[in-house]
Amino acid sequence: MSTSDLAKDWIPDTATFGARLALVRWRFHWNVREAERECHISQNLWAGWEAGSLPRNYIEIVNRIVLRTGVNKVWLMTG
């Protein structure tokens, strides 16, 4: 199986908030530093959330990311 076959059949994981954040970065072609700059969220926090932590101020963070990216709020919160 070639790499292009894998990419064609790839289904992203959206089960967790961290996975959805990673997809947001992928969609915008951002690394964690660019996500920090664009969404005004520290690299350490963003990376921690992608690794499985949840923000203490979840709604505020979701709103900030939605405002900057235009992603669907319900999707970002729940998948």
pLDDT tens digits for range 33-60: 999 999 999 999 999 999 999 999 999 9
Q: What average pLDDT does the structure give for the chain?
A: 89
Question: DSSP string spanning the chain?
Answer: --HHHHHHH-----SSHHHHHHHHHHHHT--HHHHHHHHT--HHHHHHHHTT---TTHHHHHHHHHHHH---HHHHHH-
- Judged against a pLDDT cut of 50, whether residue 1 lies above it is answered with no
pLDDT tens digits for range 11-20: 678 899 999 9
